[in-house]
Amino acid sequence: MNRTLKVMAMVLSFICLFLFAFGIGQKSGFQIEVPLASPSNTVIQVVGGGSGAAAAPASSGASGGSAAVPASSDNTGKSDAAPADSKGDKPADTAPAASDAMTKAEIVDLFKTSANKIKTESGVTVTRNYEDLQHNEEKLEAPAALQSIGKSLISTFLKKDETPVNYTGQEIIDNYPVKGQPYVTNLTENDVTEATCTDDGTYYNITLKFPEETDPTTTGVATSFNIIKADEVYAAASVVKSFNSTYYDAVITCQIEKSTGNMVHATYTLPIVMKVTAGVAFATLDAQVGMTFIDDYSIAY
C-alpha cells in the first residue's frame, strides 16, 4: 500500500475508535466508509457493540467482502531522462575522490553525484530489502481513554516488511527517493547538519544527518526522502481538517564503490511526528502520532 494511504488508514481507524468511545453508533457492527485515492475504498469497521468493541481495519471490494487494502500499482518502462534538479545544480559526470580531509560540501557532492546515477543510468535494478515502520509511542497524544487501545491499533499498521521488492526503469523513478522525481537528491550542504565519509579501502561510507523541520517542501529531508505531504493527505481523506508533520533525527547512510563511483547500498531513516485534526459533523479529534520509517535498498548496475 502507498505509504500515505497506509498512514491515513491508521488515522481513520483512530477516528473511528474515537467516535465509538464517545457512544456514536452503539448498535453492533456499524462501519464508516471514507473514499481514498486508491482503486477501492478503505473501510474502517467497528466490530461488535457495547463497551467491549474495538476498531479494526478492513477494506471494501466489489463483492463487499473483507480483504487487504490493495497495494498501489507501479508503472514499468525504462527512462534515460536526465535529472531535473529544482535547485539548478547539474550533477557532475563522475564523483570526486574522497580524502581524509573532505569538507561537508565535498561529501554532499560525492553523495549527490553517485545517488543521482541510480535514476539516470540504464540497466539499474534497485532492491528494497525491507521497509520498517515503527511506532514511537512516547510521541502519542490523544484522549486519555484512547491511549492504551490506540497504541495497539497503531501497531497493527506499523510493521516490518522484509519481502524484497525489485524496481527497474520507471519503477525506480516512481518509488525510489525522491519518488516521482527524475533525481534521487538535490540537496546542498545547507540541507544537512552533519556529513561524514570514511574510506574502508573498497567503499566510501557516508552518513548524512538532517535538521528538524516542520512541513518542509524544498529543503532538508524534502530534498532526499519520500516524505508525507499535506496535500496528499487532504486528497486521500476529506475528514482530515488540518495536518502537519515534523521530521527530526533523519539520517541517510550509504556505501559508494570506490572503483566505479556507484552507490550500492543505502538506508533511509526518517522519524516523523504528525499532528492531525480530523472529524465529521458531530465530532472532532486532535491527535499526535510519532513514527519512524526505515527503508533499506541495494543497487545493482
**61 vs 226, higher pLDDT:** 226
> How many of the other CB atoms lie within 10 Å of CB of 4?
21
- Residue 154, SS3 per DSSP: helix
> Grid coordinates standing for 87?
535547485
Spell out where 40-79 has E strands. 42-47, 54-59
pLDDT of residue 39: 36
Q: What is the pLDDT of residues 276-301, one digit of tens each?
A: 887 766 677 788 888 999 999 999 99
For the residues of 77-112, what is the DSSP string, one character each? ----PPP--TTSPPPPSSPPPP-TT--HHHHHHHHH
pLDDT of residue 185: 98
Please say whether the beta carbons of 235 and 269 come within 8 A.
Answer: no
Is residue 84 very low, low, confident or very high in pLDDT (cuts 50, 70, 90)?
very low
Cα separation, 134 vs 115, in Å, equals: 26
Please say whether the beta carbons of 56 and 45 come within 8 A.
Answer: yes
pTM over 0.85: no
> Grid coordinates standing for 65?
467482502
Cα separation, 185 vs 103, in Å, equals: 19
Q: Residue 167 region, left (φ>0) first, then alpha (ψ -120 to 50), else beta?
A: beta
Is residue 240 very low, low, confident or very high in pLDDT (cuts 50, 70, 90)?
confident
pLDDT of residue 59: 40
Q: Does residue 86 have a pLDDT over 60?
A: no
pLDDT of residue 15: 61
> How many of the other CB atoms lie within 10 Å of CB of 207?
17
pLDDT of residue 55: 39
Cα separation, 10 vs 174, in Å, equals: 23
Q: What is the pLDDT of residues 146-170, one digit of tens each?
A: 666 666 667 666 778 999 999 999 9
pLDDT of residue 51: 38
- Residue 43, SS3 per DSSP: strand
Q: What is the pLDDT of residues 173-212, one digit of tens each?
A: 999 999 999 999 999 999 999 999 999 999 999 999 999 9
For the chain, domain boundaries? 75-300
- Helix/strand/coil percent split, the chain, to 5: 25, 35, 40
